[in-house]
Amino acid sequence: MKQSEVKELSVAELQEELGKSQKAYSDLKMAHAVSPLENPIQLRTVRRDIARLATELTKREQQ
């Protein structure tokens, strides 16, 4: 998810996407611990998406 896409979401949508991304990240981490993922870069991209969403939520709370 790109930063431009994140800025267009409402606060409720941001929170929903953050929850989904965190669940996906934990599932990927578990799967990777059991057997190596075919594409371990997925972990990095999901982690960065989580950071983008959390940053945007924090930014909006401060305004």
Tens of pLDDT along 7-28? 999 999 999 999 999 999 999 9
SS3 3: helix
Residue 21 CB coordination number (10 Å)? 21
Q: What's the token pair of residue 12?
A: 């409720």
Please tell me the predicted confidence (pLDDT) of residue 33: 96
Average pLDDT, the chain: 95
| CA-wise closest residue to 25 among 56, 52, 58 | 52
By the 8 A CB rule, do 25 and 50 touch?
yes
Instruction: Give the Cα separation of 15 and 24 in Å (integer).
Output: 14
